[in-house]
Amino acid sequence: MGAGKTTVGKLIAKNLGKSFYDTDHIIEQRTGVKIPTIFELEGEAGFRKRETDTLSEFAQMDNIVLATGGGVIMAPENRTILRQHGYVIYLRANVNELYLRTRNDKNRPLLQNVDVKAKLEELFHARNPLYTETSHLIVDTGHQPVTVIIQKIESALNALES
What's the rounded Cα separation, in Å, for the pair 55 and 65? Answer: 12
pLDDT band at 120 (very low <50, low <70, confident <90, very high): confident
pLDDT band at 133 (very low <50, low <70, confident <90, very high): very high
DSSP string, the chain: --SSHHHHHHHHHHHHT-EEEEHHHHHHHHHTS-HHHHHHHHHHHHHHHHHHHHHHHHHT-SSEEEE--GGGGGSHHHHHHHHHHS--EEEE--HHHHHHHHTT-TT-GGGTTS-HHHHHHHHHHHHHHHHHHH-SEEEE-TT--HHHHHHHHHHHHHHHH-
Which among 144, 139, 93 is positioned nearest to 120, based on CA atoms?
Answer: 93
pTM to 2 decimal places:
0.87
For the chain, give the mean pLDDT.
Answer: 90
| pLDDT at 125 exceeding the cut of 90 | yes
Architecture per CATH, 5-161: 3-Layer(aba) Sandwich (3.40)
